[in-house]
Chains A and B, each alone.
Chain A
Amino acid sequence: MRASGVEVTLGGRKVVDGVDLHADPGEVVALVGPNGAGKSTLLAALAGDLPTPGRIEIAGRELRSYKKADLARERAVLPQRSALSFPFTAGEVVRMGRAPWAGRPEAAEDDEAVAEAMRRTEVTGFAARPFQALSGGEQARVALARVLAQRTPLLLLDEPTAALDLRHQELVLMVARERAGAGAAVVVVLHDLGLAAAYADRVSVLAAGRVRAEGRPAEVFTEELLTEVYQHDVEVLPHPRTGTPLVVPRRP
């Protein structure tokens, strides 16, 4: 996935302003930044939901030239919130992720893809329960399972860890890493800078719709930059054992 000059104007305001971003197969790229920086809007533009004058290429082809059905076999999108209008079970929701492959040879993998996605996100036990009866965190993992079951080479995840406890946050990012290890490109919006530092190959720091810095977490996450971007004093310490940057707000 390669994007250049992505611009999105919402309500007369430039929410995303000339952003360049790329994610290669095997890579996890984290989008971080303060609230209102344009992370989710950028992700929506990359998903093809919002028109942009910039150029976005997926698998070497211009985003606009895709038919919706073809695009659904190239990229999967995890929305920030999942809603459901009718009482489908969790298993049925995950199976919806296989819809783009209906009538193709890959449809033979349906059962296996659904079972694997549910195992990896630890939701197999909920399969027969109505999605709406699950807790927020359980719903979030079922939604992720649906996206994984789609088995696309590009994953766009909008705050997949927001509703999750510590263990499941780690689980979700481990799954993202695993998919990258299997050759997928993953773009993930994160709020937790510690998670981004630990799991992303590259991070892109967004502020006011522009990329402020981009690169390996260890290079990008500096006290000066983060303090300025978040408008709050921030300390960055290397983890005593692994050396991964730990980002903590400076507290009295």
Chain B
Amino acid sequence: MQLTTPPSVSPKSARPSRIPAHLRGPARIGLLGGLTVTLIAVSLLAAGRGQVPISPAEVAGSLLHRLGLDLGPLPSAAQGENALWLVRFPRVTLAVVVGASLGCAGALMQGVFGNPLAEPGVVGVSSGAAVGAAASIVSGITVFGIWTTAAAAFAGGILTTMMVYAMSRANGRTEVVTLVLTGVAVNATAGALLGLLMFLTDDDGVRAIAFWQLGSLAQATWGAVAVAAPCAAVGLAVAAFSARRLDLLALGEAPARHLGVDTERLRVTAIVATALLTASAVAFTGIISFVGLVVPHLIRMVAGPGHRVLIPASALGGAVVVVLGDLIARTAIDYQELPLGVLTAVVGGPAFFWLLRRTRSKAGGWG
């Protein structure tokens, strides 16, 4: 799918030795730097907003003091330190982890499926992970302690990813229509299983599962961060490490193999990494959809499709979106909290429509 049409370069006017991969290098590094700065700024802002207002400078000051640096002002508000360290920081940190996981999982999945519409939420991997997690909540099994829910989400995620992959591929490609319909089927099945689990469980279980389906960061704790962050880190590292090979995979399975890529192994590692990322995103917050669809798409429009920039930039962009989204979700209405998953779906749903139409017209039909 072609996303950007550069100023029409006629063959004669183009400089002969112009090879864009190199010329655009510094600009791409600039994008990563810009996203990092934005993420830090948005995080400081988000940590300061809430029932106890704290200025970004005081937030930074509080952080620096904990790091042993006597710089910047400390929060002046009563209970400011506690509000930051017990409530806001775990929440913002988890938002960063979840957002980075979702953005990166989207980019990774799109690369492996060779399809710009692949995304954990759309193809049903998030729902699959949610079923796993809900099953662990309902059954009350705690074999892995605090890790149990994450492990169950991972198991559900990896099973669904493999299923979707096996069902939606034909001749080494995934067609848009097959992928989306597979997602519909998987989401329907997962929805039914979630409904069944809700029926089987008690009131607390119902509330826990409903929370899952809506998606929210309200239950963020340092414990949750401690479980989600390592999963996300491993997934992000694998994705970044696979970036170059994902570029080659865009040529198709056989040509990538001819260029020395072990496509079988790449596929398996990418599927495991996607499931890890989805599990880390879903385990404590439920289903937050469309972040993995929209963010990589925007990055591709700006920086081109090369995965070496796309993957880290999607992770950073996803983190920015989720931190901002969560800030809006908890501050838009006084004393009430919008579910974050609902908020992202309100924005992401129409974006998905638009992408679907674009893909369709570009491919000259459902290709």
A97 to B22, CA, bound (A): 15
Within 8 A of B (CB), among A74-96: 75-77, 79, 82-89, 91-93, 95-96
Query: Is the CB–CB distance between A87 and B21 below 8 Å?
Result: no
Query: Is the CB–CB distance between B9 and A88 below 8 Å?
Result: no
Interface presence of B252 (CB below 8 A): yes
Q: How many interface contacts (CB-CB < 8 Å) are there between A and B?
A: 125
Nearest-CB distance from A66 to chain B (Å)? 10
Query: Is the CB–CB distance between A79 and B14 below 8 Å?
Result: no
Interface presence of B173 (CB below 8 A): yes
Interface presence of B260 (CB below 8 A): yes
A120 to B9, CA, bound (A): 20
A207 to B304, CA, bound (A): 46
Nearest-CB distance from A101 to chain B (Å)? 9
A242 to B33, CA, bound (A): 64
A132 to B114, CA, bound (A): 14
User: Given the complex, which residues of B lie within 8 Å of A150, measured CB to CB?
Assistant: 259
A133 to B8, CA, bound (A): 11
User: Given the complex, which residues of A lie within 8 Å of B2, measured CB to CB?
Assistant: 87, 130, 132-133
A96 to B246, CA, bound (A): 11
User: Given the complex, which residues of A lie within 8 Å of B114, measured CB to CB?
Assistant: 85-86
Interface presence of A165 (CB below 8 A): no
Known: A97-B259, A99-B248, A132-B1. A125 touches B306 (CB 8 A): no
Contact with B along A21-64 (1 / 0, CB 8 A): 00000000000000000000000100111000000000000000
Interface presence of B247 (CB below 8 A): yes
Query: Is the CB–CB distance between B20 and A92 below 8 Å?
Result: yes
Interface presence of B6 (CB below 8 A): yes
Within 8 A of A (CB), among B228-285: 244, 247-252, 254-255, 257-262
Known: A68-B260, A71-B260. A83 touches B14 (CB 8 A): no
Known: A86-B1, A96-B247, A99-B244. A77 touches B20 (CB 8 A): no
Give which listed residue, A48, A97, A102, A111, contacts B244 with CB less than 8 A. Answer: A102
Interface presence of B145 (CB below 8 A): no
Interface presence of B51 (CB below 8 A): no
**Range of interface residues on chain A?**
35 or more
Interface presence of A72 (CB below 8 A): yes
Query: Is the CB–CB distance between B20 and A89 below 8 Å?
Result: yes
Dominant secondary structure of chain B at its interface with chain A = loop
A132 to B254, CA, bound (A): 19
Interface presence of B350 (CB below 8 A): no
B18 nearest in chain A by CB position: A127
Interface presence of A246 (CB below 8 A): no
User: Given the complex, which residues of B lie within 8 Å of A68, measured CB to CB?
Assistant: 257, 260-262
Query: Is the CB–CB distance between B6 and A88 below 8 Å?
Result: no
Q: Which of A47, A73, A89 has the most CB of B within 10 A?
A: A89
Query: Is the CB–CB distance between B306 and A92 below 8 Å?
Result: yes
Nearest-CB distance from B85 to chain A (Å)? 43
Interface presence of B79 (CB below 8 A): no
A128 to B2, CA, bound (A): 13
Interface presence of B115 (CB below 8 A): yes
Query: Is the CB–CB distance between B304 and A88 below 8 Å?
Result: yes
Contact with A along B11-38 (1 / 0, CB 8 A): 1101011111110000000000000000
A93 to B9, CA, bound (A): 17
A114 to B20, CA, bound (A): 12
Complex A-B: 14 CB contacts under 8 Å: A86-B114, A86-B300, A87-B4, A87-B300, A92-B304, A96-B248, A96-B251, A99-B244, A111-B22, A114-B19, A126-B11, A128-B6, A132-B2, A133-B5
Which residues of A come within 8 Å of B, CB atoms? 44, 47-49, 68-73, 75-77, 79, 82-89, 91-93, 95-97, 99-100, 102, 111, 114-115, 119, 124-130, 132-133, 150
